[in-house]
Amino acid sequence: MPLFERIREDIDSVLDRDPAARSKLEILLCYPGLWAVWFHRVSHMLWRARLRLAARCLSQIARFFTGVDIHPGALLGRRFFIDHATGVVIGETAIVGSDVTIYQGVTLGGTGKGHGKRHPTVCDRVFIGNNANVLGDITIGENSRVGAGSVVLSDVPPNSTVVGVPAHIIYRNGQRVLITDPHDVKDPLSDALIALSARVEELEERLGGERKPVDKFTAEAAERSAYREELGRLAEFVSMGEGI
Ligand SMILES: CC(C)(COP(=O)(O)OP(=O)(O)OC[C@H]1O[C@@H](n2cnc3c(N)ncnc32)[C@H](O)[C@@H]1OP(=O)(O)O)[C@@H](O)C(=O)NCCC(=O)NCCS
């Protein structure tokens, strides 16, 4: 695709995705995240032509002007949008699909342990909230969303939302996912949680198998989730009414 067609496509996609964008001229002049992607296309060409030092120098010039540090070896798909730009870091072996949106402060980085492919693969239409860290040779599946401030250390299936440090799935295929089993919590505190829950179970057994508090917690969480869904439907209904 010719260079100017690609630029037009990028600008149109920002107009679609950012409600703050008012005109194509504004996008051309005021979106350093786009400039960073355009710089990257040139530095990536230099990288592939084995002009490695020139490619690295150009990517550092881009970083100076945009605050976005993209290694020239990274593979970026079409209509990639980095909103607010500053502080984004994308590593050498990262692969980003089409129509991906990321916000300021996102890192697609390595864990510091591996060689070879050591950065994430982000599939089509993924959304990554500000200051999220996606680390290691993991895959974020299509249409998935990563919450602001999350640290993602393992694969995320398609159509999922993950949040937290380390990140856990909270939505999958539109359905809320509730963690009620401490074995599903994968962080440095899991062992303590599992031991605590085993101890509670043991005490409950001693008291005659009373499991009410845990059941009550699960029911409350499900009730809150249903309430939130109902509110969402109401808000949609009201906005439809405003549109008439
Ligand atoms: C992850 C995200 C996409 C989820 O949005 P959503 O589908 O509307 O999810 P909800 O608001 O229903 O949240 C579901 C649960 O996850 C929690 N949660 C949501 N985002 C979270 C986050 N970033 N970190 C930790 N927990 C989060 C909520 O508190 C809620 O928990 P609860 O059910 O125990 O109360 C959104 O919260 C987010 O982080 N968006 C990024 C926005 C951003 O980067 N903006 C930058 C503007 S400059």
Share of the chain above pLDDT 90, in %: 69
Pocket test for ligand 1, best of 133, 163, 168 (most atoms within 8 A of CB): 163
pLDDT computed for residue 156 by the predictor: 98
User: In Å, what is the CA distance from 182 to each residue of 35, 84, 190, 221?
Assistant: 45, 37, 7, 15
CA 231 to ligand 1 centroid distance, Å: 16
Q: Tell which residue, 64, 58, 14, 56, has the closest CA to residue 39.
A: 58
CA quadruple 220, 222, 228, 231: dihedral, nearest 10: -100
pLDDT for 165 beyond 90? yes
Arithmetic mean of pLDDT over the chain: 91
Nearest atom of ligand 1 to the alpha carbon of 104: 48
Q: Could you read off the pLDDT of 112-153 as tens digits, one per residue?
A: 887 899 999 999 999 999 999 999 999 999 999 999 999 999
Residue type, 25: L
Mean pLDDT of 167-182: 91
Q: Could you read off the pLDDT of 33-81 as tens digits, one per residue?
A: 999 999 999 999 999 999 999 999 999 999 999 999 999 999 999 999 9
pLDDT computed for residue 216 by the predictor: 65
**Does residue 243 or residue 82 have the better pLDDT?**
82
CB of 130 sitting under 6 A from ligand 1: yes
Mean pLDDT of 179-196: 84
**Does residue 133 or residue 222 have the better pLDDT?**
133
pTM score of the predicted model? 0.84
Share of the chain above pLDDT 70, in %: 95
Q: How far apart are CA 136 and CA 111, in angstroms?
A: 5
pLDDT computed for residue 215 by the predictor: 64
pLDDT computed for residue 212 by the predictor: 58
- β-partners of residue 107 are 89, 133
pLDDT for 25 beyond 90? yes
pLDDT computed for residue 11 by the predictor: 96
Q: How far apart are CA 153 and CA 110, in angstroms?
A: 10
Nearest atom of ligand 1 to the alpha carbon of 162: 1
Q: How far apart are CA 198 and CA 184, in angstroms?
A: 14
CA 63 to ligand 1 centroid distance, Å: 29
pLDDT band for position 224 (cuts 50, 70, 90): confident
